[in-house]
Amino acid sequence: MTPAEQQTLAAALREGETPLWTGTGGAAAPPRQTGLLSRLFRKADSAALTSMLYAITPKRVLALPVQGGEVQEWFLMLGLVQAVNERPDGGGDIVFDFEEVNGSKVPRGLIGISDVAQVRNLLNDAIDAAYQASPWSV
């Protein structure tokens, strides 16, 4: 991790919280406003990818935009993972939910990460551990 990424992560962690895993990827960013000619000819600007720093802790998952922006977090719980999309190269996405951006459903979660199977297994173990530690588990 770069010093800037380390600072971003440190600012997002709670006191005593330690990451089990950190990684980078790209999350879909809302389409940017296009120039006048593009708007006149109704050309859609393709969605860009925003560099993201991801962290899994014993209680939550964080998605931190590298260039600043809104931090997203999900608490570890059963049913968190909605889909796992693995590419032939081993990278992919772990989708937690979707948000609507300009009329399109955009996945949110660990998007564009490498070694998605390893991260999925670590995340499943972390969810199981969080569930077992819960006072509501039987």
List, in order of start, the domains of the chain with CATH numbers: 3-29+43-133 (2.30.29.30)
Ordered alpha helix ranges (H), 41-135: 116-133
Torsion of CA 114, 13, 58, 99, to 10 degrees: -60
pLDDT above 80 for 120: yes
| pLDDT computed for residue 112 by the predictor | 95
Q: Which band of pLDDT confidence, cut at 50, 70 and 90, is reported for residue 28?
A: low
Structure-model confidence comparison of residues 44 and 54, the more confident one: 54
pLDDT above 90 for 74: yes
What predicted TM-score, i.e. pTM, was given to this entire model?
0.80
- Report the amino acid identity of residue 112: G
d(CA 18, CA 52): 18
- Paired strand residues for 26: 51
3-state helix, strand, coil in the chain (%, to 5): 25, 35, 40
Which of 4-8, 72-76, 82-86 has the lowest average pLDDT?
Answer: 4-8
Ordered alpha helix ranges (H), the chain: 3-12, 36-40, 116-133
Tokens describing residue 31: 């389409």
| Cβ atoms < 10 Å from Cβ of 104 | 12
| Cβ atoms < 10 Å from Cβ of 122 | 14
- Report the amino acid identity of residue 133: A
